[in-house]
Amino acid sequence: MSRILVVADIKQGVVRSSTRELLSKAKALGAETAVVAVGSGIEGLLPALAAAGSDTQYLADDPSLALFSAGPWASCVVDAARQFSADMVWFGFSESGKAMSPRVAARLDAACATDIVDVTFVDGAVEIVRPAITNKVLQRIKILDKKLVAVVRAGAFQAAAEIGGTENPVKLSPPEADLRAAIRNIVSDAGADIDLADADIVVSVGRGAKDAAGVALVKSLADDLNAGFGSTRAMVDAGFMPHSKQVGQTGKIVAPTLYIAVGISGAIQHLAGMKGSKVILAVNKDPEAPIFNVADYGIVGDLFEVVPILKQEIQKVRQ
């Protein structure tokens, strides 16, 4: 039987949905499951970690782990992987996962795969599917090594409605700090905003919004919908949006139930970050904009005219 260790995604003291999604897939594959959680003051998360579908919980809880630091955090994951004799280690889709996974693979001498969207067992060997070349192709890859470390793409696996889990905590000793790449500070540029990765609905703004007033208008639509608020790279480069809100190949990859693209033409790098959304609505005044090639519903019109009406109509149906 396969043994799969899932690295918990924790944000502001909450276990994120991706942890349950990954554990659900692991259980569906018939694997023994464990989770490893790293941070400071996270012991209280034990019930939530078990409820997410794990049967063993490795906890690295230490004040020195308050801020993310890839080297030491990877050491905790390696420690848990060794203790659990994991043959797979899965990370949810995150910047920390992308930074840790190659470190963990190198230290475990395991195969490493980024962005996987499927895992199967074929004649006892693990096969994965992942997009490559800016989402233009999928690769089916056979893992030849005994062990695999993988980052799972956002939205690839569904959370099971019912999932068993038992509390069985194992404390990990704190790792050595990385003094040669020492984390000093994290400047939060997201504040208390809804996280793009967790949001059911994401509203994104593109160059069509022109200026700060346009961005504010589109943001008010996101606020009405209690949605995550993202943008294209152009709006980040122009200084209207922080890096953490960039949706696309080089930013966040999102797969919400509803993605609303406002004033976004649809460059392939942006499409690569949102094509996995269940339903896409696009508002753009250019009827030839490539975004309409992927949108389920497209409104051809000036966003400054359409967004206020959209807000009104949504308010009507939500009453």
Q: Which of residues 267-286 bind other proteins (CB under 8 A)?
A: 268, 275, 278-281
Closest-CA residue to 117 (of 258, 21, 252)? 21
DSSP per residue over 19-59, as a string? HHHHHHHHHHTT-EEEEEEEESS-GGGHHHHHHTT-SEEEE
Which of 85, 158, 226, 257 binds other proteins (CB under 8 A)? It is 257
d(CA 194, CA 17): 14
- Consult the annotation and say whether 209 binds a ligand: no
The stretch among 20-28, 168-176, 184-192, 213-221 that binds other proteins (CB under 8 A) is 184-192
Among 17, 29, 68, 174, interactor with other proteins by CB under 8 A: 68
- Give me the sign of the Cα torsion angle 295, 296, 299, 300: positive
Residue from 39, 71, 72, 273 in contact with other proteins (CB under 8 A): 71
Residue-wise burial string across 126-151, b where 16 or more C-beta atoms lie within 10 A, e elsewhere: bebbbbeeebeeeeebebeeebbbbb
Q: Residues 64, 120, 166, 188: which binds other proteins (CB under 8 A)? A: 188
Contact assessment for residue 20 and residue 53, using Cβ atoms and an 8 Å cutoff: yes
**Interface with other proteins in residues 35-54 (CB under 8 A):** none
Residues 191-250 that bind other proteins (CB under 8 A): 201, 233, 236-237, 242-244, 249-250
279 is in an annotated binding site: no
| C-beta of 40 vs 169, nearer to other proteins | 40
Any contact of residue 176 with other proteins (CB under 8 A)?
Answer: no
Yes or no: say if 276 and 155 are a contact pair by the CB < 8 Å rule.
yes
**Binding flag, residue 179, other proteins (CB under 8 A):** yes
- Nearest 5°: phi and psi at 316? -60, -50
How near is the Cβ of 299 to other proteins at its closest, in Å? 5
Tokens of 183: 């984390």
Site string for other proteins, 114-153 (x = CB under 8 A): xx-----------x-x-xxxxxxxxxxxxxxx--------
Please state the residue numbers annotated as binding site for FAD. 207, 232-233, 246-250, 263-270, 284
